[in-house]
Chain A
């Protein structure tokens, strides 16, 4: 359990770094020379120290541990990739995270669009609906889902009225998907809404004047302009989903275990710190590869779109 939230946090940070990695911050930094740079470093020093002690040092310990615990060598990696169950869990983590992302995007896209067309009052209310669960504890929310989804829960009792004896939802991949999607939805809604709210809807009017049916105008103009938001939302969602621990552990069965569950089992159950460390290493590696790919693709396509949209506002 110890390093699962760590990974999540790191992922969120990296995503932000990628998102803001356009030309602007760099050029600003170049302009401020000498004193400015020194002052800037001075301001950043406290956060560097805190990050170094509480973040980079523990992470380094784990990365090193993957190669050194209990003795120096690659035996931890041999163990991880040697046991089929580990590779299965890795696959499952990736696949469930992928579907969670798909579900979140499918819900967040129309919801975000709706947010852009309603009155500010309704928008505030809808935002509240998205964000209130976001402010409650993850454990509490997951317990709520356990109660809702179990056979003796309200949904199950309701279905019994229609003769459905066992809902069979709890401890299935479906339950994990529902629980995770609900937790992660705000992280997809917010970036998509942020992008959509900046789209000039007068472009759709222009497209109609040029002979495009409203549906065609939406697909050819609005959709591509909203893609940068969809991409960052989906990336954030996917990377965060990879590190999930509580939700799959409580809503899923043993067959829905995530990598984090595996870490917990190795470290807390078997005191196999080296095994835990190597799983953490793999998780971090996968995350970084995905961020790298997205960053590269984003630079080639999405990033330039975002720059263009930003540029045309000026």
Chain B
């Protein structure tokens, strides 16, 4: 990393009486990036966000904001923006008063406040709703007010905790685009928490995948999709077929057959991960497949779904379930219950410890 980190988490941990929520996290967040904490519930992503925001005190480790220690500073002095899943708008204040609230705490003059509120409401496209109360707005509008309130004082970092979680799919997708636009316009650092991998891929420059209080892997969406370091990351990002077997003497065997894949894994239980679009489907003899497809397994078709761009096959094999996306022009005439050959190139398979 060439750029200086805006926020540095070093050995950050948070444990409760009987559980460890965040386990020794090291993370450098770059200025201006859109970083997403992705993981299942209970993986520590929200706790990490709350540690940064100052709502929770760390048990160990340090946080440096532009080189200055953050962990001892009370939440109201950190000057970070926070957007919550539950909006947390003040119900007794109008949109204008909600957005002006952080400016009042910062002793802005009335004229400056009015100007800043007008500008930010324009940015989130709510200038017509300035005098409404939160209860008079839809969920999507309320969340945009919450966003406006969190960015109006231009915090260096904006923290968002599943902000679109309570909204329906259409609205969520539209607001994702809005968030990307606002991130570009502001140029500040966004840290976003979600359990939705599609949302993470849509929004983020980089994604940190959380599991059991640790960061499993951090990288761009493409890196995580193409080169997962662990089976967890491979399964969590995108769809995949996982063939389970074991390594012996540096060779991977599953169901009595040897397979090849990229990556090195120590002897022991291991798995081969293949993305759906890399799989081909054919009859049992493999008559429609090129001869160099040496990695294959026979299985029974459990389901066939038309997905617009092609067909999605779910196949049960002796070494694991396979999911294959086959483009319309290469779709084969098969039915549920048929036995088929599922094949792939060794270079498209990723060998991972299980």
Q: A residues engaging B (CB < 8 A)?
A: 200, 202-203, 205-214, 216-217, 220-221, 224-225, 305, 307-312, 314
Contact = CB atoms under 8 A, between A and B. Distances in A.
A203 B76 contact: no
Interface string B80-104: 1110101011111000000001100
Nearest to B101: A210
B91 A312 contact: yes
Contacts of B105: 210-212, 216
A216 B105 CA distance: 9
Interface string B130-155: 00011110000000000001100100
B75 A209 contact: yes
A205 B88 contact: yes
Contacts, number: 77
A308 B88 contact: no
A311 B139 CA distance: 12
Rank and list the top 10 A-B pairs by shortest CB-CB distance, nearest first.
Answer: A311-B135, A206-B88, A211-B105, A210-B102, A209-B82, A312-B91, A208-B75, A308-B91, A208-B76, A312-B135
A209 B105 CA distance: 11
Nearest to A220: B101
Nearest to A210: B102
B27 to A, nearest CB: 20
Nearest to B86: A202
B106 interface: yes
Contact of B91 (A207, A208, A225): A225
25 contacts: A202-B88, A205-B88, A206-B84, A206-B88, A208-B55, A209-B53, A209-B75, A209-B76, A209-B80, A209-B150, A210-B76, A210-B82, A210-B149, A210-B153, A211-B76, A212-B101, A212-B105, A213-B76, A216-B105, A217-B76, A220-B101, A308-B133, A308-B134, A310-B135, A312-B89
B62 interface: no
Given A212-B105, A308-B135, A203 B90 contact: yes
A124 B227 CA distance: 56
B79 interface: yes
Nearest to A211: B105
A208 B73 CA distance: 12
B101 A205 contact: no
B8 to A, nearest CB: 21
Contacts of A200: 86, 88
A206 B82 contact: yes
Interface size class of B (residues with CB under 8 A): 20 to 34
Contacts of A213: 76
Contacts of B81: 209
B153 to A, nearest CB: 7
Interface centre among A202, A206, A305, A309 (most CB of B within 10 A): A206
A213 B75 CA distance: 9
Nearest to B105: A211
A309 B86 contact: no
A301 to B, nearest CB: 10
Nearest to A216: B105
A248 B89 CA distance: 47
Given A210-B105, A213-B76, 4 more contacts: A200-B88, A206-B88, A208-B55, A309-B91
Contacts of A312: 89, 91, 134-135
Contact of B92 (A209, A216, A224): A224
B88 A225 contact: no
A203 B88 contact: yes
Nearest to A311: B135
B90 A221 contact: yes
Contacts of A305: 91-92
